[in-house]
């Protein structure tokens, strides 16, 4: 147990880390979201997994068929899923999802071996011609692997078994790049998924959003992510004939707000809000992007206009982080370059205005569903943290009791998880992938996020149980080692979160002691 004196000394040194140090500029009460009212399903009623009210997914296999490649299932998994439909119960669901997660772990090991093979090939190809002779050595190595195919654009497509690892040059957008050319290379699986998205987006708009949600759960290809996010968020209409007109109207409307309100940022009424925004933006990540003066100006306008138009909450620290994924995704629509090294000011004024307006409206749509997180005293976050504590105590009592034993409060580390939607805990590329699923889930940023946080915490069980000190345990929970996480890690996390949601959807009393 940590002494009171030791705790006080620790808090003085780490005050900036503690969620309680977040200052609210201004706000007012707002009815909080209550998942017990939204998700309190009676026994015998199957939990919905799609946003359509009239049609509910009732079995685990139906969910799997809707998101057939969500967890990269194989033939063995299909058999397990078929068993689940015959006798659906929590034990079968948990066993099935666990099997999926184990398969992911095996695939991860295979990817490591493939990466080593690719590195060896790269070293050989980089040798001078004198050392390689007539390059027969390079040819003999490459012929041991399945030959690559070409996509519809003529780019080389690597077979699934040869998927390249994520390159650091594309860290922000989550792409896979050829180390030699920097050109994005699609695996066979990615190319097939991209074709599915293109066919859906180009086809008739009947049930477009519903179908997009099903397809997007397991991730959205980078090239179609901007338009897909705009459709899933409700910013763009499904009707293709109305999209261009809607974009023009909404962009014009946003800059009318800028013209009307932005000059008031230096007035006494709003100067505290603007000052806090101005202070917070340089603290965001990635630094190389945020420190660009043009980006800073765009973020300041977006956040200030949103705060003025939402007096019930106003600006609260944490909202600033929620702009970044939208800005990065919508900027990628206009450039193939790595945004960490890209000079945003090189884009035309019209393009920058389009990105700014689109980011504002999509961020606004997101915040509409979680605004109680940012009203006075942030009741939504406090309620979700309490729900997380109750949920973890039911999922893994050993982890819960260990945290409790060393007197670490969930609010001290999980506040930020709710306030920033895990953006400070995982790399931006992972946040973008996570948001693909959040936007495809009903109440993804609110209700489903709770299960993701629970799965995220239990994911570190071994490390948590090794910490035998209040300070070290809290520091670990506030600085989890996710720097090298990629899409594979997020896929496993989402699989576990869905398993938890499925297992507890018919047991709302798990929130209660």
List the domain boundaries for the chain. Answer: 205-369, 379-506
6-10 contact pairs (CB < 8 A, 24+): 6/470, 6/471, 7/407, 7/470, 10/470, 10/471, 10/474
Reference 294, options 281, 312, 276; nearest CA is: 281
447: enclosing H helix or E strand = none
* pLDDT for 285: 78
Residues paired with residue 186 on neighbouring β-strands, in sequence order: 157
424 neighbors 483 (Cβ within 8 angstroms): no
**Residue 348, exposed/middle/buried by CB under 10 A (0-12, 13-18, 19+)?**
exposed
Rounded-to-10 torsion of CA 57, 62, 65, 67:
40
**Order of all β-strands in the sheet with 149-150:** 149-150, 156-158, 186-187
Q: Is the peptide bond before 286 cis (omega within 30 degrees of 0)?
A: yes
In sequence order, which residues have a C-beta less than 8 Å from that of residue 226 and are 6 or more positions away?
329, 330, 332, 333
Residue 507 in tokens:
């047991």
Q: What pLDDT was estimated at residue 188?
A: 84
Tokens 């994520």 sit on residue: 166
The answer to whether the beta carbons of residues 289 and 344 sit under 8 Å apart is yes
- Whether residue 138 contacts residue 167, with contact meaning beta carbons closer than 8 Å, is answered with no
Residue 315: name the closest of 260, 371, 268, 234 by CA: 371
DSSP helix/strand/coil, 282 = helix
Please give the full DSSP string across 228-281, using - where no structure is assigned: HHHHHTTSS-S-HHHHHHHHHHHHHHHHHHHHHHGGGGGSTTTHHHHHHHHHHG
Half-sphere exposure of 352 (CA within 13 A, CB side): 15
Report how far residue 77's alpha carbon sits from residue 69's, in angstroms, rounded to the nearest whole number. Answer: 11
Class of domain 379-506 (CATH, top level): mainly alpha
Q: How far apart are CA 110 and CA 373, in angstroms?
A: 41
- Between the alpha carbon of residue 148 and those of residues 86, 111, 115, 153, 183, the distances in Å are 40, 17, 16, 14, 15
Max CA distance (Å), the chain: 75
CA separation for the pair 358, 361 (Å, rounded): 5
Q: Per the structure block, which two tokens stand in for 194?
A: 């991209």
What are the structure tokens assigned to 182, written together?
Answer: 């920097």
Q: Show pLDDT as tens, one digit a residue, over the chain (513 residues).
A: 445 555 545 444 444 444 444 444 433 333 344 444 444 444 444 444 444 444 444 454 554 455 444 344 444 444 444 444 444 455 655 665 666 566 656 666 666 666 666 655 554 444 333 333 333 322 332 333 333 334 433 343 333 333 333 333 333 434 444 444 445 577 888 889 999 999 999 887 778 999 999 999 999 999 999 999 999 999 999 988 899 999 999 999 999 999 999 999 989 999 999 999 999 998 887 776 777 889 999 999 999 999 999 998 899 999 999 999 999 999 999 998 888 788 999 999 999 999 999 999 999 999 999 989 999 889 999 999 999 999 999 999 999 999 999 999 999 999 999 999 999 999 999 999 999 999 999 899 999 999 999 999 999 999 999 999 999 999 999 999 999 999 999 999 999 999 999 888 656 555 544
Residue 442: the pLDDT is 87
pLDDT digits (tens, 9 = 90+) for 52-76: 444 444 454 554 455 444 344 444 4
DSSP label at residue 184: B
CA distance to 129, 269, 467, 472, per residue, from 408 (Å): 61, 39, 12, 10
Helix axes 449-458, 487-504, angle to 10 degrees: 110
Distance CA 488, CA 491 (A): 5
3-class secondary structure, 118: helix
What distance in Å separates the CA atoms of residue 471 and residue 407, rounded to the nearest whole number? 10
Q: What are the residues facing 149 on neighbouring strands?
A: 157
Q: What is the pLDDT of residues 194-212, one digit of tens each?
A: 999 999 998 877 789 999 9
Pull the structure tokens for residue 501. 């949601």
Residue 484, CB half-sphere, CA atoms under 13 Å: how many? 1
What is the rounded distance in angstroms from the CA atom of residue 375 to the CA atom of residue 512? Answer: 25
In contact, 323 and 315? CB cutoff 8 Å: no
Select from 488, 500, 487, 428 the least CA-distant residue to 457.
500
Task: Residue count of the chain, please give it.
Answer: 513
Q: H-helix or E-strand containing 317?
A: none
Residue 114: closest CA among 151, 91, 146? 146
| Residue appearing with tokens 């944490």 | 318
8 Å CB contact between 104 and 130: no
CA distance from start to end of the chain = 25
The answer to whether residues 455 and 392 touch, using CB atoms and an 8 Å cutoff, is no
Residue 287's H or E segment, with its range, is helix 287-290
The bridge status of strand 186-187 relative to strand 149-150 is unpaired
DSSP string, 197-215: HHHHHHS--TTHHHHHHHH
């Amino acid at each position: 147990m940590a002494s009171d004196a030791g705790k006080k000394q620790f808090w003085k040194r780490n005050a900036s880390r503690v969620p309680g140090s977040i200052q609210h500029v201004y706000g007012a009460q707002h009815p909080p979201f209550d998942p017990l009212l939204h998700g309190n399903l009676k026994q015998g009623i199957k939990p919905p997994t799609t946003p359509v009210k009239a049609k509910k997914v009732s079995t685990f296999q139906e969910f799997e068929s809707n998101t057939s490649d969500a967890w990269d299932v194989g033939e063995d998994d299909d058999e397990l899923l078929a068993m689940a439909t015959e006798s659906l119960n929590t034990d079968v669901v948990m066993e099935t999802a666990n099997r999926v997660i184990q398969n992911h772990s095996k695939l991860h090991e295979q990817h490591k071996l493939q990466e080593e093979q690719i590195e060896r090939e790269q070293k050989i190809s980089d040798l001078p011609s004198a050392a390689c002779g007539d390059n027969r050595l390079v040819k003999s190595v490459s012929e041991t692997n399945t030959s690559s195919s070409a996509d519809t654009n003529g780019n080389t497509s690597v077979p699934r078994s040869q998927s390249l690892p994520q390159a650091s040059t594309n860290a922000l957008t989550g792409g896979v790049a050829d180390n030699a050319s920097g050109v994005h290379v699609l695996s066979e699986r990615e190319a097939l998924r991209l074709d599915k998205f293109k066919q859906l987006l180009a086809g008739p708009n009947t049930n477009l959003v519903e179908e997009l949600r099903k397809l997007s759960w397991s991730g959205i290809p980078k090239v179609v992510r901007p338009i897909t996010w705009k459709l899933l968020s409700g910013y763009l209409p499904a009707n293709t004939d109305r999209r261009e007109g809607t974009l023009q109207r909404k962009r014009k409307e946003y800059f009318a707000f800028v013209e009307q309100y932005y000059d008031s940022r230096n007035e006494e009424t709003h100067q505290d809000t603007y000052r806090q925004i101005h202070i917070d933006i340089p603290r965001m990540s990635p630094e190389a992007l945020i420190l660009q003066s043009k980006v800073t100006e765009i973020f300041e306008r977006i956040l200030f206009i949103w705060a003025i138009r939402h007096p019930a909450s106003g600006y609260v620290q944490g909202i600033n982080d929620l702009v970044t994924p939208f800005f990065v995704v919508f900027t990628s629509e206009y450039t193939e370059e790595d945004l960490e090294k890209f000079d945003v000011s090189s884009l035309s004024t019209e393009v920058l205005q389009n990105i700014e307006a689109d980011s504002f409206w999509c961020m606004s749509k997101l915040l509409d569903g979680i605004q109680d997180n940012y009203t006075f005293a942030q009741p939504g976050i406090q309620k979700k943290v309490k729900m997380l504590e109750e949920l973890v105590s039911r999922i893994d009592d050993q982890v819960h009791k260990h945290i409790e034993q060393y007197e670490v409060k969930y609010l001290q580390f999980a506040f930020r998880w709710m306030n920033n939607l895990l953006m400070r805990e995982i790399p931006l590329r992972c946040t973008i992938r996570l948001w693909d699923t959040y936007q495809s889930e009903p109440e993804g940023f609110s209700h489903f996020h709770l299960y993701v946080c629970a799965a995220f915490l239990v994911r570190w069980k071994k490390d948590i149980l090794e910490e035998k000190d209040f300070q070290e345990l809290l520091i670990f929970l506030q600085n989890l080692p996710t720097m090298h996480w990629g899409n594979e890690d997020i896929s496993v996390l989402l699989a576990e979160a869905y398993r938890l949601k499925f297992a507890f959807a018919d047991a709302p009393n798990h929130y209660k002691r």
